[in-house]
Amino acid sequence: MTIFPAILAIDLPEYPTLADNLQYQLTGFLVVLFTLGSLALLVGLIGRFFIALEARQAAAQAPAPARIAAPESTPTGEEIPTAVLAAIAGAVTAALGDRRFAIRGVKVADPRQNLAWSAEGRRTIYASHQVR
């Protein structure tokens, strides 16, 4: 027999009233809530610590900014504006995050030559219909 149940047995009378039972249960409930709240706070603080540690490591290993080459010419002979190249480099940076990359070239897609995506979309739509 441990000492803890003996201590609890001292607090309760032999025939407890409804108020005694409610006080005992409320005390136990508050102890559980305090314990769970403390654990949640501790886990949250540990999480914030690791997030800050990861951010510090990512800042130390940040990749060099992407270089934007001179505007390239498109198949129609016009040049791609530097602002468009910067937007493409920004999108690649956002997608890849901390990984290093180099943009070697940019090509304008001719929609008349590459119909694979539209054909796949039509195939998916037709496949979803039920034949009666």
Task: Give the mean pLDDT of the chain.
Answer: 79
The whole-number pLDDT of residue 1 equals: 43
Domain that holds residue 79: 65-132
Please tell me the total count of domains within the chain. Answer: 2
Say yes or no: 71 and 57 in one domain.
no
pLDDT digits (tens, 9 = 90+) for 99-132: 788 888 777 776 667 677 778 888 888 888 777 6
Q: Which residues contact 100 (CB under 8 A, 6 or more apart)?
A: 63, 64
User: Are 36 and 78 within one domain?
Assistant: no
Domain's final residue, options 31, 62, 93:
62
How far apart CA 111 and CA 121 sit, in angstroms, is: 15
d(CA 99, CA 93): 8
Percent of the chain with pLDDT over 70: 73
- What DSSP element (H or E) covers 8? helix 3-11
pLDDT in tens, 55-74: 888 877 766 655 655 555 55
- Judge if 73 and 125 occupy the same domain: yes
